Amino acid sequence: MKKKTYPLEYAGVKQKYATCVVVGDLVFCSGMTGRTPETGDVSSDNVAEQTVVALDRVRKALEQTGSSMENIVKTVIYLKEIKDYQSVRDAEFEYYGKHCPLLVEEPPASTVVQVVSLARPRVLVEVDVVAVIPREEGIISE
């Protein structure tokens, strides 16, 4: 089975880890935070705004691989503060409503975990996603 890695860049500098990896028809996106690809800086100190930036990064990464948000099957959301749970979920489903209404009606399997810290002190939320790339013979394109 082939593996393809999509590198992560901040401010045009390639990082030491990938934004996503494709193996067969599966897409694994990790480390999606509120850091903007243009600068590498955290976009805001607001957890809902960071969630939107993270989901924008997910959407763009999936499109780059030939998939899309409607093909997300699993999310893991890492929160620095569990008190932000509802704000993150509200931002997530508002985002889905704008960019992929199917996920509002048929949400992916999802886990939310509070962590001691994330990669940068100002990062409040991180999203990991597993999605599929639809193939003619695959489950997605019935």
Q: Domains for the chain: give ranges and CATH numbers.
A: 3-132 (3.30.1330.40)
Q: Which helix (H) or strand (E) holds 103?
A: helix 102-105
**Average pLDDT across the chain, whole number:** 92
pTM: 0.90
Q: What's the mean pLDDT in 38-61?
A: 95
Tell me which of 71 and 38 has the higher pLDDT: 71
